Amino acid sequence: MTTLLEVEDLRVAYGKIEAVKGISFKVDAGEVVTLIGTNGAGKTTTLRTLSGLLKPVGGQIKFNGKSLKKTPAHQIVSLGLAHSPEGRHIFPRMTIEDNLRLGAFLRDDKAGIDKDIQRAYDLFPILGERRKQAAGTLSGGEQQMLAMGRALMSQPKLLMLDEPSMGLSPIMMQKIMATIVELKAQGTTILLVEQNAQAALSLADHGHVMEIGNIVLSGTGQDLLHDESVRKAYLGED
């Protein structure tokens, strides 16, 4: 399998506080890989660093065989790495369709963009039904769909999703997780950060457990799902 993303001994700090303390993992093309762990473990910091929004203090990031060390954030998007951030960051006064178009800001192939907007509507019909409405009128779960749809508009090789299930009802969460499975079936490679370890591990090929800036355990999604320490710490079992 082709390795799409290789992270080696990555370290990231906010001033003197080291939030990521030397983590290594990889994502192969076509896989879903998840990072799980409690609040403050360093998951969001890791994704923001991969997107170029934070500069690492040490380590290597290779995407598609190329080092990202000196690559600015907007070029990272054009290399094929898209980020659907925690908290979604949609533009509430703009229409749903215009929010989606923003995700294609680096593209100029109008026909291709229109086709991908239709693809987002096929994936999330509610977005198509309400395409002319302000995005701020969507529910939390629907805004999450919009954020995912927008990230897909850059035709990413790797889609990074930060806590897509946060604050959603169980039904909406299931819909989002089912969409991740569907995207994988369509060939999208996904790096998923989740606090809902059960949901994330159930669909992931590989997972890594983060605790205070370190990866403390790695394995296949199924192995971690059945690991006793994971079940105790993250799946609420005694």
Told to check if 87 binds ligand ATP by CB under 6 A, we report: no
Interface segment toward ligand ATP; rule CB under 6 A; list 36-44, 114-122, 126-134, 170-178: 36-44
Q: Which of 39, 111, 171, 228 binds ligand ATP (CB under 6 A)?
A: 39
Told to check if 45 binds ligand ATP by CB under 6 A, we report: yes
Interface segment toward ligand ATP; rule CB under 6 A; list 42-50, 57-65, 105-113, 114-122: 42-50
DSSP string, 88-115: ----TTSBHHHHHHHTTTT---HHHHHH
Distances (CA, A) of 172 to 31, 90, 154, 179: 23, 18, 24, 11
Told to check if 84 binds ligand ATP by CB under 6 A, we report: no
Interface segment toward ligand ATP; rule CB under 6 A; list 34-42, 127-135, 139-147, 168-176: 34-42
Q: Which of 33, 43, 179, 209 binds ligand ATP (CB under 6 A)?
A: 43
Interface segment toward ligand ATP; rule CB under 6 A; list 14-22, 25-33, 132-140, 170-178: 14-22
Q: How many CA atoms lie within 13 A of 118 on its CB side?
A: 6
CB of 155 to ligand ATP, least distance (A): 26
Told to check if 40 binds ligand ATP by CB under 6 A, we report: yes
The DSSP H or E segment spanning 197 is: helix 197-203
Residues 188-207 interacting with ligand ATP (rule: CB under 6 A): 195
Told to check if 42 binds ligand ATP by CB under 6 A, we report: yes
Told to check if 17 binds ligand ATP by CB under 6 A, we report: yes
Cβ closer to ligand ATP: 64 or 195? 195
Number of helices followed by number of strands (H, E) in the chain: 10, 10
Told to check if 36 binds ligand ATP by CB under 6 A, we report: no
Phi, then psi, of 185 in degrees rounded to 5:
-60, -30
Sign of the alpha-carbon torsion through 154, 180, 53, 9 = negative
**Type of residue at 106:** L
CA angle 96, 99, 105 (to 5 degrees): 150
Beta bridge partners of 209: 36, 217
Told to check if 41 binds ligand ATP by CB under 6 A, we report: yes
**Type of residue at 160:** M
> Which residues in this chain contact ligand ATP in the complex, by CB under 6 A?
14, 17, 19, 37, 39-45, 86, 195
